[in-house]
């Protein structure tokens, strides 16, 4: 049962969280279970950062439970263009977040639960955590056939992935987090995690696609709440502590000083897109113009999310050379981003000859370029 | 003392502001003669090979994903050096030493081996031995950030980072009151001590320890409040401001603005302003708003302003024209593609409603809704943003009355609308009544548009809005 925090619990938690790494004066035993009241992926990721940076995990380990409204979360060293359909994300208003741990890309919605196990670096042990999760689920529904692979995935019926894992290690602390598919929208999941972008070459960590299944499909009586509770109970038992889930609000600056800055940083373009390892785009635009199809070879190098080098192989004189070179010069150094490119393209058009034919060619070329982003 | 100065100088030279450093001017003077001091007072620093430590779970190799420092950078103990990845785990490697990075043993995407050298660090000879003793060579304490150190037999509890901060600011740790556990001196204790000394505003440092926000009353100078009342007294204490200028390249939206405005500068602008009584329009909109909502459209004042402008342009088509680069030809545009300036999170964009001359007020409202939602989501397409012939800018939603808008080439006119205010005005009977007044400021290209044309257009536009029923006569 999830207990609502009383004022006393809030104050106690406040003491527990605010005390610097010197350790706790409280009577807290080996472990703490906290749950976020927010479904905002950035706020929840910020809580992970905060606990990782500020809490002393020597005397007390932490299990953090959280769920997000629809979002795609990529790993620290991944390339969002390679991993998901950014156009579709923008259309459906699905958020894109980059987490600080490694690993691959996942889709979150309220039918997916996230578990983060915080320990000291010494006590970092992923297999142990996952075995705990499986134990909890088995206690809840003994008939489920679940199995932890050596890639730290949890498989259902030896075939379907129901959980993926990632981890972050710092100087003294570490965390291992994993997902758990209860009742997520598999249709949206598969469509957003399919990248339409061709010709990308990068050393970014690739995701390993897998067939997924919801626990709900095996047993419709299961809900996210039941799973969270079962896991929290198992965790508490394992650490010989009371089964008690403390709710926390990731926007509470008094409880978590500095959290709002962390949340903001996770939302910046520089973090989400700018941290993409250097990659190149080498493709051919098939521009349908009047009655013919133009093959336009495009080569771009993108570093820190910005276009470092840009080459567009247009037929000679299709665009006036001066205008073409203005376009290439403007694109160089600007973000590999459809919004920015659209604005630049529209602006450049203002200061060139007012010719309808020229305008339509220009818009056509720019729209095709934007499709790459 | 010499060694002190040189050390703090070397920290100034490689500016990585991870700590708040309040420097007094004498320290800066020495920086020019740094080399001299170094060779005479300090022997060459010892170069240590910092090996990649054990990551756990029996992992022997990792991939280097990002370097946070480069060769020549100065690092402090606990600063992040690089990010490595191994099997879904991302690991931040932090420095064990204070010193200067002399060599990176790997490039991005290389495989690094546990137990093998990761970077070479030149440790300051003056500090070298001490820092190793403090943390590295004593395993039981290596996981505990707070190390117990002894200075001249007096046990002062503070981390090496806090010690360094105190040393750089010539503070005796014994004079600082520690507020941490066991009277440990925390960074905030040093900052508070400094704040009391100099009355300075100190920006918080982005380090791992929690620093609760300093209460504002301590840090805000009292001067602004007193300014109105008396001449501010000369300050006797030295005021130190440790903020830094920040330079960034001009890109994206800003770059676009630079291009547009530079071109606009070539157009000789003239302005014409007037006041519009929108009392009747306000009433009309109140009546029509629910009707539009039933049809799923939000109705603001803009659709009326836009339609009235188009009706005016039918009478004065030169305002919907374009002048070519050599000022040889004027092209009268057939379509009224009226642009609406929009303020998005990233900057100013001007999408336009196409062919207003054949659109109803409702259709214009629906199109505006579409453009506004696309604009705020950053999803406007090139066709939405190009082809504009005339622009209205509703700056009044933010505030202001009169403005001096800048024409967006290749257009020749633009109108800026101020906010609607309730003001007292006289009616036909000489009575004072509450009028809803809005100001409009037009700018036009004086090469092809004269003042009279602008004034007449404005009057026509004004008459349509002040008496909305008159629009019915001219609607096509």
Render pLDDT for A113-130 as a digit per residue (tens, 0 to 9).
Answer: 999 999 998 888 899 999
Ranked by mean pLDDT, the top range of A237-241, B45-49, B213-217, B444-448 is B444-448
Residue B45: pLDDT band with limits 50, 70, 90: confident
Q: Is residue B128 part of a domain?
A: no
Does A19 have pLDDT greater than 60?
Answer: no
Ranked by mean pLDDT, the top range of B109-118, B246-255, B309-318, B344-353 is B309-318
- CATH number of the domain where residue A204 is located: 3.30.930.10
| Ranges A42-46, A187-191, B55-59: which has the least confidence | B55-59
What's the number of domains chain B is made of? 3
Same domain, A45 and A185: yes
Does A341 have pLDDT greater than 60?
Answer: yes
Residue A315: pLDDT band with limits 50, 70, 90: confident
ipTM entry: 0.84
Element holding A347 (H helix, E strand): helix A338-350
Chain B CA closest to residue A338: B379
| Ranges A16-20, A150-154, A202-206, B428-432: which has the least confidence | A16-20
pLDDT at residue A69 in the model: 96
Q: Is residue B453 part of a domain?
A: yes
- CATH number of the domain where residue A358 is located: 3.30.390.50
Q: Is residue B165 part of a domain?
A: yes
Same domain, B56 and B168: no
Does B232 have pLDDT greater than 80?
Answer: no
- B441 three-class SS: strand
Contact yes or no for A363 and B346 at CB 8 A: no
Residue A357: pLDDT band with limits 50, 70, 90: confident
Does B56 have pLDDT greater than 60?
Answer: yes
Between the alpha carbon of residue A247 and those of residues A7, A64, A91, A352, B190, the distances in Å are 12, 10, 33, 59, 35
Q: Is residue B228 part of a domain?
A: no
Contact present, B125 and B44 (Cβ < 8 Å): yes
Q: What is the mean pLDDT of residues A221-233?
A: 92
- B21 three-class SS: coil
- B176 three-class SS: coil
pLDDT at residue B84 in the model: 92
Q: Is residue B243 part of a domain?
A: no
Contact yes or no for B256 and A20 at CB 8 A: no
Long-range contacts, stretch B215-221, CB < 8 angstroms, 24+ apart: B219/B195
Q: Is residue A127 part of a domain?
A: yes
| % of chain A exceeding 70 in pLDDT | 92
Residue B127: pLDDT band with limits 50, 70, 90: low
Tokens, residue B22: 């309040």
* Angstrom distance (rounded) from CA B413 to CA B396: 18
* Core vs surface per residue B310-333: b (16+ CB within 10 A) or e: bbbbeebebbbbbbeeeeeeeeeb
Chain B CA closest to residue A122: B56
Contact yes or no for A54 and B210 at CB 8 A: yes
Structural domain span for residue B192: 160-196
Average pLDDT across chain B, whole number: 77
Task: Report, as residue numbers or ranges, the catalytic residues of B.
Answer: 446, 450
Average pLDDT across chain A, whole number: 88
* Angstrom distance (rounded) from CA B55 to CA B113: 11
Does A13 have pLDDT greater than 70?
Answer: no
Nearest to A349 among B86, B349, B386 (CB): B386
**Chain B residues in contact with A102 (beta carbon < 8 A):** 85-90
Edge to edge, the sheet with strand A61-66 lists A245-248, A31-36, A61-66, A112-120, A173-181, A165-169, B89-94, B80-86, B61-67, B111-113
Give the closest residue to A80 by CA, choosing from A65, A68, A90. A90
Residue A348: pLDDT band with limits 50, 70, 90: confident
Residue B453: pLDDT band with limits 50, 70, 90: very high
Contact yes or no for A344 and B377 at CB 8 A: no
Same domain, B172 and B316: no
- CATH number of the domain where residue B100 is located: 2.40.50.100
Residue A303: pLDDT band with limits 50, 70, 90: very high
* Angstrom distance (rounded) from CA A346 to CA B382: 6
Residues in CB range of B20: below 8 A, 6 or more apart: B165, B191, B194, B202, B203, B205, B242
Q: Is residue B469 part of a domain?
A: yes
Nearest to A347 among B57, B212, B256 (CB): B256
Does B33 have pLDDT greater than 70?
Answer: no
Same domain, A368 and A346: yes
Measure A46 CA to nearest chain B CA, in Å.
14
Same domain, B401 and B326: yes
Same domain, A283 and A200: no
Same domain, B375 and B430: yes
Contact yes or no for B90 and A101 at CB 8 A: yes
* Angstrom distance (rounded) from CA A99 to CA A77: 9
Same domain, B338 and B457: yes
Contact yes or no for B90 and A21 at CB 8 A: no
Contact yes or no for B86 and A349 at CB 8 A: no
Q: Which residue has the higher pLDDT, A26 or A161?
A: A161
Element holding B123 (H helix, E strand): strand B117-123
Q: Which residue has the higher pLDDT, B31 or B424?
A: B424
Does B123 have pLDDT greater than 90?
Answer: no
**Chain A residues in contact with B325 (beta carbon < 8 A):** 353
Same domain, B164 and B306: no
Preferred mutation among B256, B265, B410 to probe A, highest tally of A CBs within 10 A: B256
pLDDT at residue A26 in the model: 40
Q: What is the mean pLDDT of residues B141-146?
A: 36
Could you tell me where the beta strands, DSSP code E, fall in A39-159? 61-66, 71-74, 95-98, 106-108, 112-120, 146-148, 154-156
Contact present, B188 and B211 (Cβ < 8 Å): yes
Q: What are phi and psi of A314, to 5 degrees?
A: -90, 150
Does A143 have pLDDT greater than 60?
Answer: yes
Does B124 have pLDDT greater than 80?
Answer: no
Contact yes or no for A342 and B325 at CB 8 A: no
Same domain, B383 and B278: yes
Q: What is the mean pLDDT of residues A43-61?
A: 93
Give the closest residue to A319 by CA, choosing from A274, A278, A277, A289. A289
Residue B225: pLDDT band with limits 50, 70, 90: very low
Q: Which of A256, A273, A290 is the last residue of a domain?
A: A273
pLDDT at residue B254 in the model: 77
pLDDT at residue B320 in the model: 96
Distance of CA B55 to the CA centre of its chain: 38
**Chain B residues in contact with A90 (beta carbon < 8 A):** 377-379
Q: What is the mean pLDDT of residues A144-169?
A: 92
Q: Is A197 on the interface with B (CB under 8 A)?
A: no
pLDDT at residue B77 in the model: 87
Same domain, B287 and B399: yes
Does A4 have pLDDT greater than 80?
Answer: no
Between the alpha carbon of residue B73 and those of residues B17, B119, B230, the distances in Å are 12, 12, 49
Does B156 have pLDDT greater than 80?
Answer: no
Does B42 have pLDDT greater than 70?
Answer: no
| Ranges B50-64, B240-254, B302-316: which has the least confidence | B240-254
Does B276 have pLDDT greater than 90?
Answer: yes
Same domain, A267 and A298: no
* Angstrom distance (rounded) from CA A94 to CA A188: 10
Q: Which of B143, B172, B196 is the last residue of a domain?
A: B196
Chain B CA closest to residue A366: B382
**Chain A residues in contact with B208 (beta carbon < 8 A):** 21, 53-54
Contact yes or no for A339 and B346 at CB 8 A: yes
Q: What is the mean pLDDT of residues A241-260?
A: 92
pLDDT at residue A187 in the model: 93
Measure A221 CA to nearest chain B CA, in Å.
32
For chain A, positions 78-107, list CB contacts with chain B under 8 A: 90-91, 93, 100-104
Tell me the per-residue pLDDT of B308-358, one tens digit each, with 9 for 90 and over: 999 999 999 999 999 988 888 999 999 999 999 988 766 778 999 999 999
Q: Which residue has the higher pLDDT, B36 or B423?
A: B423
Nearest to A90 among B56, B184, B379 (CB): B379
Could you tell me where the beta strands, DSSP code E, fall in chain A? 31-36, 61-66, 71-74, 95-98, 106-108, 112-120, 146-148, 154-156, 160-163, 165-169, 173-181, 200-202, 245-248, 279-289, 292-303, 306-313
**Chain B residues in contact with A167 (beta carbon < 8 A):** 88-90
Measure B107 CA to nearest chain A CA, in Å.
13
Same domain, A148 and A229: yes
Same domain, A288 and A206: no
Q: Is residue B263 part of a domain?
A: no
Contact present, A294 and A313 (Cβ < 8 Å): no
Q: Which of A273, A295, A323 is the last residue of a domain?
A: A273
Q: What is the mean pLDDT of residues B444-460?
A: 95
pLDDT at residue B237 in the model: 72
Same domain, A367 and A230: no
Contact yes or no for A22 and B260 at CB 8 A: no
pLDDT at residue B298 in the model: 95
Same domain, B119 and B64: yes
For chain A, positions 214-253, list CB contacts with chain B under 8 A: none
Same domain, A290 and A361: yes
Same domain, A251 and A316: no
Q: Is residue B449 part of a domain?
A: yes
Same domain, B62 and B176: no
Give the closest residue to B394 by CA, choosing from B365, B415, B363, B422. B415
Same domain, B192 and B299: no
Tell me the per-residue pLDDT of B188-221, one tens digit each, with 9 for 90 and over: 777 666 655 554 433 333 443 333 444 444 444 4
Residue A323: pLDDT band with limits 50, 70, 90: confident
pLDDT at residue B378 in the model: 82
First to last CA, chain A: 46
Structural domain span for residue A91: 30-273
Q: Model's pTM, two decimal places? A: 0.74
Ranked by mean pLDDT, the top range of A15-19, A101-105, B205-209, B341-345 is A101-105
* Angstrom distance (rounded) from CA A17 to CA A34: 11
pLDDT at residue A254 in the model: 92
Residue keyed to tokens 């905030």:
B188
Does B256 have pLDDT greater than 70?
Answer: yes
For chain A, positions 160-189, list CB contacts with chain B under 8 A: 165-172, 174
Chain A CA closest to residue B383: A363
Residue B150: pLDDT band with limits 50, 70, 90: very low
Contact yes or no for B94 and A170 at CB 8 A: yes
pLDDT at residue B235 in the model: 58
Q: Please provide the DSSP assignment of B98-111 as one string.
A: -EEEEEE---TT-E
Give the closest residue to A354 by CA, choosing from B388, B413, B264, B64. B388
Same domain, A191 and A254: yes
* Angstrom distance (rounded) from CA B399 to CA B403: 10
Same domain, A211 and A82: yes
Q: Is residue A90 part of a domain?
A: yes
For chain A, positions 108-167, list CB contacts with chain B under 8 A: 120-122, 124-126, 151-152, 165-167
Q: Is residue A184 part of a domain?
A: yes
Same domain, A261 and A299: no
Does A43 have pLDDT greater than 60?
Answer: yes
- The CA radius of gyration of chain B, in Å to the nearest whole number, is 34
Does A5 have pLDDT greater than 70?
Answer: no
Same domain, B173 and B279: no
| Ranges A23-32, A80-89, A234-243, B421-430: which has the least confidence | A23-32
Q: Is residue A126 part of a domain?
A: yes
Q: What is the mean pLDDT of residues B74-99?
A: 89
Tell me the per-residue pLDDT of A158-168, one tens digit each, with 9 for 90 and over: 999 999 999 99
- CATH number of the domain where residue B443 is located: 3.30.559.10
Q: Supply the DSSP symbol for A335.
A: B
Preferred mutation among A48, A75, A343, A348 to probe B, highest tally of B CBs within 10 A: A343
Chain B CA closest to residue A99: B90
Contact yes or no for B251 and A152 at CB 8 A: no
Does B226 have pLDDT greater than 60?
Answer: no
Chain B CA closest to residue A56: B144
* Angstrom distance (rounded) from CA B260 to CA B262: 6
Contact yes or no for B255 and A334 at CB 8 A: yes
What's the number of domains chain A is made of? 2
* Angstrom distance (rounded) from CA A307 to CA A369: 12
Q: Is residue A100 part of a domain?
A: yes
Q: Is residue A24 part of a domain?
A: no
């Amino acid at each position: 049962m999830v207990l609502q925090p009383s004022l006393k619990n809030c104050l106690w938690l406040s003491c527990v969280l605010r005390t610097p790494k010197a350790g706790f004066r409280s009577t807290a035993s080996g472990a703490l279970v906290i749950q976020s009241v927010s479904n905002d992926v950035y706020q929840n990721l910020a809580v992970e950062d905060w606990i990782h940076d500020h809490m002393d995990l020597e005397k007390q380990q932490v299990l953090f439970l959280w769920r997000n409204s629809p979002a795609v979360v990529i790993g620290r060293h991944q390339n969002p263009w390679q991993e998901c359909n950014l156009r579709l994300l923008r259309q459906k208003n699905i958020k894109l977040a980059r987490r600080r741990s490694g690993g691959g890309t996942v889709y979150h919605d309220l039918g997916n639960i996230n578990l983060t196990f915080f320990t000291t670096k010494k006590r970092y042990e992923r297999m142990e955590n996952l075995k705990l999760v499986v134990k909890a689920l088995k206690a809840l529904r003994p008939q489920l056939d679940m199995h932890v692979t050596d890639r730290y995935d949890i498989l259902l019926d030896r075939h379907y992935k129901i959980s993926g894992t990632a981890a972050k290690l710092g100087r003294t602390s570490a965390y291992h987090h994993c997902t758990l598919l209860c009742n997520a929208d598999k249709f949206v999941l598969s469509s957003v995690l399919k990248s339409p972008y061709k010709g990308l070459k990068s050393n970014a960590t690739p995701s390993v696609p897998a067939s997924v299944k919801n626990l709900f499909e095996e047993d419709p009586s299961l809900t996210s709440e039941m799973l969270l509770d079962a896991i929290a109970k198992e965790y508490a038992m394992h650490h010989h502590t009371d089964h008690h889930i403390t709710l926390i609000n990731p926007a509470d600056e008094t409880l978590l000083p500095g959290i709002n800055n962390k949340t903001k940083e996770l939302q910046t373009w520089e973090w989400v897109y700018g941290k993409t390892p250097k990659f190149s785009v080498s493709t051919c635009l098939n521009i349908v113009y009047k009655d013919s199809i133009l093959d336009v070879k495009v080569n771009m190098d993108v570093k820190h999310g910005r276009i470092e080098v840009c080459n567009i192989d247009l037929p000679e004189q299709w665009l006036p050379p001066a205008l073409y070179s203005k376009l290439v010069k403007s694109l160089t150094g600007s973000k590999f981003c459809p919004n920015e490119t659209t604005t630049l393209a529209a602006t450049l058009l203002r200061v060139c000859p007012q010719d309808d034919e020229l305008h339509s060619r220009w818009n056509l070329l720019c729209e095709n370029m934007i499709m790459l982003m | 003392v010499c060694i002190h100065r040189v050390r703090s100088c070397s920290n100034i030279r490689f500016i990585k502001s991870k700590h708040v450093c309040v420097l007094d001017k004498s320290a800066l003077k020495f920086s020019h003669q740094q080399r001299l001091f170094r060779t005479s007072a300090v022997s060459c620093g010892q170069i240590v090979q910092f090996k990649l430590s054990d990551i756990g779970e029996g992992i022997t190799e990792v991939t280097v994903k990002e370097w946070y420092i480069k060769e020549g950078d100065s690092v402090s103990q606990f600063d992040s050096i690089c990010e490595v990845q191994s099997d879904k785990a991302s690991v931040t490697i932090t420095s064990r030493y204070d010193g200067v990075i002399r060599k990176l043993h790997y490039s991005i995407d290389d495989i690094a081996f546990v137990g093998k050298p990761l970077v070479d660090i030149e440790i300051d000879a003056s500090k070298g031995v001490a820092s190793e003793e403090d943390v590295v060579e004593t395993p039981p304490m290596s996981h505990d950030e707070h190390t117990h150190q002894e200075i001249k037999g007096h046990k002062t509890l503070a981390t090496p980072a806090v010690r360094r901060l105190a040393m750089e600011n010539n503070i005796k740790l014994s004079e600082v009151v520690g507020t941490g556990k066991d009277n440990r001196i925390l960074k905030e204790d040093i900052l508070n001590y400094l704040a009391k000394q100099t009355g300075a505003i100190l920006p918080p440092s982005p380090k791992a320890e929690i620093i609760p926000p300093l209460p504002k009353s301590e840090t805000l100078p009292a001067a602004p409040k007193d300014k109105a009342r008396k001449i501010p007294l000369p300050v006797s204490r030295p005021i130190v401001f440790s903020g830094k200028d920040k330079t960034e390249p001009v890109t994206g939206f800003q770059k676009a603005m630079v291009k547009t405005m530079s071109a606009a500068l070539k157009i000789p602008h003239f302005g014409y302003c007037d006041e519009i009584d929108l009392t009747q329009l306000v009433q009309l909109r109140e009546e029509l708003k629910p009707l539009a909502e039933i049809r799923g459209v939000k109705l603001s004042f803009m659709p009326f302003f836009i339609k009235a402008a188009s009706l005016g342009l039918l009478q004065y088509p030169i305002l919907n024209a374009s002048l070519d680069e050599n000022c040889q030809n004027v092209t009268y545009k057939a379509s009224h593609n009226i642009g609406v300036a929009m303020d998005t999170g990233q900057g100013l964009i001007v999408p336009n409603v196409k062919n207003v001359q054949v659109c109803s007020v409702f259709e214009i409202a629906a199109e505006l809704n579409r453009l506004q939602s696309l604009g705020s989501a950053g999803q406007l397409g090139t066709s939405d943003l190009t082809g504009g012939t005339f622009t209205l800018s509703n700056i009044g939603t933010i505030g202001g009355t009169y403005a001096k808008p800048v024409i967006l080439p290749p257009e020749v006119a633009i109108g800026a609308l101020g906010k609607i205010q309730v003001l007292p005005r006289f009616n036909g009977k000489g009575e004072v009544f509450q009028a809803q007044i809005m100001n409009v400021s037009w700018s036009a290209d004086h090469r092809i548009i004269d003042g009279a044309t602008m004034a007449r257009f404005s009057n026509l536009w004004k008459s349509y809005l002040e008496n909305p029923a008159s629009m019915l006569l001219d609607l096509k």
